A and B are shown apart, each in its own frame.
Chain A
Amino acid sequence: MKRHLILSLSLIVASFAVKASPRFTFNTIISGFHQDALTDYTGKYELSRDTNLYVIIKIQDGALVATQSWDKVEKHLDHLNGDNFIIAGQGWSVEFVRGGDKKVAKLIVSAKDVWNKVSK
């Protein structure tokens, strides 16, 4: 009986959690985030300590996708709020930093690697 209760409660909590998923509603409610704003982040970013390495960020199916130059692997970026994202599945933090003109100037991955935006 206790097991059934726990299982039922878990399922209810899980269903609420799925409903509260940031992909569907959370971003919009909390941060007023809109799909159009994603275009601010698109472009080419070079690694500050090695400019041979770069990523190209584009919008794919309404979400940001970063393509790595060295292996062509695509990483999906899940939005949290503001200019903060995480790499889907891997969880690395991705923080877009804006310059004085309020335009995105660079991104910082995992609070360490700095990638400078070089072109739109």
Chain B
Amino acid sequence: MYTSLGIVDFIILFLALHGLVLSIVLAYHSRKIRSNYWIAALIFVIAEITLVNEAQQSGYLEAHTRIIPFIPVLRLAVGPMLYFYIRSLVYNKVRLDKKDYWHFLPLVLDMQFLIIAILYISGILAIPSVQQFYFTPAVQRLLFRRSIFLDNLPVLLSLSAYSIACLRMIRSQLAVDSQSAYKLADLKRARNIVYMIIAQTIGLLITVILYTYTYVWSYYIIFIPATIFIYWTGMAIYQRQSHMTAEDVLEYVKPIPKVYFTDEEANTYKSKLIYLMETDKVYLDPSLKMDMLADKLLLTERSVSNLLNHHIGKNFNDFINEYRVEESKRKLVDPACRQFTIAAIGLDCGFNSLATFQRCFKQITGVTPGQYQKLASDPNTTQIMI
């Protein structure tokens, strides 16, 4: 039996169908600005989710259950697609790496009907032991009688996590001055899209809570804004793209230096790095490498490298060796260390060999460790200690 759809449903359907067509047109015209492929894909996915929801609300799917396994459930693709759109916009990286495909793995969670159909068609479900397991109350409850909250939890988590990651990317990029006006406008639009997705996530949470208490699935809260959003975004991007000249496109796709930190973030990580050096004295470890430092700061190696090069002004080796030389300077003049050789002091301060210690020490102080020790212990010297 079909349920009559109201006028609001027809408006939603119209906008969703429009979004579907718009996404195809946008993808077709995205050869110049390739990041638009991703926004076209995002619009397509949201339109598909909306259409499937309307098919469900109208009772069409209930009456044609055989097609259910073959309808893609793409709600867990929204987060990754938003992320890849923002990434393509910020870093001009449109293609996916192998590891990027893992972002779509959670989609398997929504493939239960397809998996069951495959198990049935292949005859696996007819195997007595499999069937016995499948017919147990626990499996049936897990598959078909999950609470509405549990059912939507992966979507809520996915949208929240990806929205936060996207906002961070956009914020860091908005701090860069050298970009085209169109790119800047797109970044601001992307920020609005992320805000919209956050609002949708909150809308979904409200719908779930309402359903828990009233058993009414108020899907209008989600799908009216969603369809208006895809209509507005799709039209805006399509119109903007058609107004761009060849020079605008060149300016738009010009690579922009990657920004890892805002000034505020850089200061925070600088403080953490200095704490690691001065308090934990990590430089005393001769096997200290960039990846170990990155682990301690909970950053990637590239981020640490960027922090050192762009915000501290030194490369990794220079930065670490300066601390090691400072430490060795203290020990060379320390009476308590008088019984140690220069090589032992160098090794004790984190240098791998005497040669490296000598070279770095001279590079930084202008004298060798031996000369430094001599100058420090000679009471008649007039040379100022470096």
Contacts and interface: CB of A to CB of B under 8 A. Distances in A.
B59 A73 contact: yes
A71 B59 contact: yes
A20 interface: yes
Interface string B63-82: 11111110000000000000
B171 to A, nearest CB: 39
A18 B128 CA distance: 20
Given A71-B1, A73-B63, A78-B120, A110 B144 contact: yes
A89 B1 contact: no
A89 B66 contact: yes
Contact of B68 (A20, A21, A26, A89): A89
Interface class of chain B by DSSP: helix
A91 B144 contact: yes
A20 B135 contact: no
A84 interface: yes
Interface in B101-147: 112-113, 116-118, 120-123, 125-126, 128, 131, 134-137, 139-141, 143-145
B326 interface: no
Interface of A: 17-18, 20-22, 26-27, 30-31, 71-76, 78, 80-81, 84, 86-93, 95, 110-112
B285 interface: no
B123 A20 contact: yes
A31 B125 CA distance: 13
A110 B121 contact: no
B278 interface: no
Given A91-B112, A93-B134, A110-B145, A26 B140 contact: no
Given A22-B120, A73-B1, A75-B65, A91 B143 contact: yes
**Nearest 4 A/B pairs, CB to CB:** A89-B65, A91-B116, A111-B137, A89-B68
Given A91-B144, A111-B140, A80 B125 contact: yes
B122 A90 contact: no
A73 B139 CA distance: 25
Contacts of B121: 17-18, 21-22
Interface of B: 1, 59, 62-69, 112-113, 116-118, 120-123, 125-126, 128, 131, 134-137, 139-141, 143-145
B378 to A, nearest CB: 73
Contact of A17 (B68, B122, B126, B131): B122
Contacts of A20: 122-123
A62 to B, nearest CB: 15
Contacts, number: 86
Nearest to B136: A111
Contact of A86 (B67, B120, B123): B120
Contacts of B128: 81
A27 B120 CA distance: 11
Contacts of A91: 112-113, 116-117, 120, 143-144
A109 B120 CA distance: 17
B122 to A, nearest CB: 4
B52 to A, nearest CB: 14
A89 B66 CA distance: 4
A74 B143 contact: no
Given A76-B66, A86-B125, A89-B65, A112 B120 contact: no
B137 A89 contact: no
A110 B140 CA distance: 6
Contacts of B59: 71, 73
21 contacts: A18-B121, A22-B121, A73-B59, A80-B125, A80-B131, A81-B126, A84-B131, A86-B116, A87-B65, A89-B69, A90-B144, A91-B112, A91-B117, A91-B143, A92-B140, A93-B134, A95-B135, A110-B140, A111-B137, A112-B140, A112-B145
A73 B1 CA distance: 6
B145 A74 contact: no
Given A31-B126, A81-B131, A92-B140, 18 more contacts: A17-B123, A18-B121, A22-B120, A30-B126, A71-B59, A72-B1, A73-B1, A75-B65, A76-B66, A80-B120, A80-B131, A81-B128, A88-B66, A89-B67, A89-B113, A95-B135, A111-B140, A111-B141
